[in-house]
Amino acid sequence: LNSVFALGVSLDSRNQRSSFTGAWAGAEASSVKCKLQGSIHLPAFSMDGDFIIGGAFSLHSYTQTVSHDYTIMPEPVRCKGSINADELQLSHAMVFAIEEINNNTELLPGIRLGYQIYDSCASVSMTVHLAFQFLNSLDLVFHTGKNCSQSGMVMAVVGESGSTPSISMSRIISPFNIPQVSPSATCACLSDKQQYPRFFRTIPSDQFQAGALAKLVKQFGWTWIGAVRSDTDYGNNGMASFLEAAKKEGICVEYSVSFYRTHPHSRIQKVADVIRRSTSMVVVAFAPSGDMRILLAELSREPFPPRQWIGSESWVTNPGLRKYSFLAGTIGFGIQKSVIPGFRNFLLNLSFAQVAVSPLLTEFWEDSFNCTIKERKKVCNGTEDIKTLQTPYTDTSQLRISNMVYKAVYAIAHAIHNALCQGRNVTAQCDKLTKLQSKQILTELKKVHFSRNGYDVSFDTNGDPVAIYELVNWQKTMAGITDIVNVGLYDASLPEGQEFQINKNIIWMEGSTKVPVSVCSGSCPPGTRKVLQKGKPICCYDCTACPEGEISNTT
């Protein structure tokens, strides 16, 4: 338990007892301390307030590998690798939203929201650790008296980014009635309210995306496809839903393979070789961008036949992957683009003084400008200009998931307002001395319905929003740069058959304007008939001449 977080009890009596039985028996006679066992992770960013909102983002993508010999206390989990600039922007979207709310005279007037934002390193073990920390305060001894209190709990949590960490976090904080609002965990499994009753999200469930992708494949006449996925809850559940929908549409799958970014290189290589040797022209990829980056790097090592890529929302709008030229022509569904007034200025208003006191921002600054704040080779001196950086942190041209974070914070703020304040708009009166329980926030979150920056925010009975996606296409410009272009829309709230619309020309692989063909067997011409190939899917067949006395006069 010490490797995560345990709640221990120690007694301030002269005769301390070693057993739990003795400890509880002596509790009445001596003061009880609720003490956190193990290490405490400090927030990457924090601010005090009347009510605290927790945040968990994968600011790093890996954790240090530690070998346990069980002879000494395990070291705390630590993050490693370079800063994930996309997630850094998401964390700042949360800070921006909270500061905006604190300056709002209509929403929570007179109330100041605070935050504790942590780096989860895209690790389940770290996420579990943080989940326990959200239940308590940051102090090692957080209550002294006869009873342990829950005074240190956050009101709600924004995060996690991924589905698997979100599942782990939900299982821990849910019994304490703490609502969790994820901006980017899309696994359809999280819509199960029996397992995840306090989970909400501002991003649509993959159940909608899987069906939309199957309809997209069917629309362009592709019946022979390949499928790759990340070996995570997101990838496995998303691909399972897609394959089920694809089967109903009469689509056959040549191969379905999985991988994960921490798998041995040989495993990644095998997946890449399957794609290279395949006969299907279309590849559907259900994986987060961190995993896709590993696979694409492996594919780029040597030339391979052109493929038409179909992407899930988690990677198909990631500008960092556009450097892989063989992805030109990719299509897929992305979260709607948005504009958050003032957000870009907020991101660029990062002073050197702020950076110097934050270990995480120091790391980001040093990586970005190739200098060091402490003495070594090239010293950062504060003259570096963040406006010159070309990174996902400063790129606000396609705010998608950042807007999901922004909406999540506002949803929690509206829930707190409705639980705490009497009246609406400028007439609202709020009492910050009211003892607010996280269960009240949970009740109000279910009823939240408001608009912000032109977007409606509400949750259905499963804690999901209305599913609306942009259809995006990776198009190469005359200058050789790949742009992510919006070419259509998918709205799951519209009647059957009307959800899907394409309003711009699509540029396919190798810059072609003609839809690529991906079938196992071509159509049989007049005078022949289809004969299924033994052991192959129904999309694979031979064309044989009609038997004597029979004819076929159509293709």
- Write the pLDDT tens digit of every residue in 350-405: 988 899 899 999 999 999 998 888 766 678 888 889 999 988 899 998 899 999 99
| C-alpha pair distances (Å), 293 with each of 78, 87, 317, 444 | 23, 15, 13, 39
Collapsing DSSP states into helix, strand and coil, what is residue 234? Answer: helix
As a whole number of Å, the end-to-end CA separation of the chain is 67
Q: Give the distance, in angstroms, between the CA of residue 182 and the centroid of all CA atoms in the same chain.
A: 8
Residue ranges per structural domain of the chain: 34-201+398-458, 206-335+467-511, 345-388, 522-555
Average pLDDT, rounded, for the chain? 87
What does CATH list as the number for 206-335+467-511?
A: 3.40.50.2300
Q: What is the pTM of this model?
A: 0.83
Which tens digit of pLDDT belongs to each residue from 488-507?
Answer: 999 988 888 888 888 889 99
Comparing 317 with 455, which gets the higher pLDDT? 317
Instruction: Say which residue, 69 or 258, is predicted with more confidence.
Output: 258
Q: Return d(Cα 408, Cα 450) in angstroms, integer.
A: 12
pLDDT tops 90 at residue 75: no
Per-residue confidence band for 29, with pLDDT thresholds at 50, 70 and 90? very low
The predicted model gives 531-553 an average pLDDT of 91
Would strands 79-80 and 62-63 be described as parallel, antiparallel, or unpaired?
antiparallel
Higher-confidence residue of 68 and 379: namely 379
Res 150 pLDDT > 80: no
Calpha distance 333→311 (Å, rounded): 7
Across the range 45-63, mean pLDDT stands at 92
- The pLDDT-based confidence of 14 (bands split at 50, 70, 90) is very low
Q: What is the pLDDT of residues 188-204, one digit of tens each?
A: 999 999 999 999 999 99
Q: How does residue 37 score in pLDDT terms, banded at 50, 70 and 90?
A: low
pLDDT score for 95: 98
Supply the pLDDT for residue 24: 36
String of DSSP letters for 120-186 = -TT-HHHHHHHHHHHTS-SSSEEEEESS---TT--SEEE--SSHHHHHHHHHHHGGGT--EEESS--
- 34-201+398-458 shares its CATH topology with 206-335+467-511: yes
Distance CA 173, CA 131 (A): 6
- Name the CATH superfamily for 34-201+398-458: Response regulator (3.40.50.2300)
**Would the pLDDT of 97 be above 70?**
yes
What average pLDDT score do residues 148-161 get? 77
- Which pLDDT does position 183 carry in this prediction? 96
Strand-by-strand arrangement of the 482-491 sheet? 252-259, 224-230, 282-286, 308-311, 331-335, 468-476, 482-491, 500-502
pLDDT of the residue at 2:
39
Higher-confidence residue of 39 and 366: namely: 366
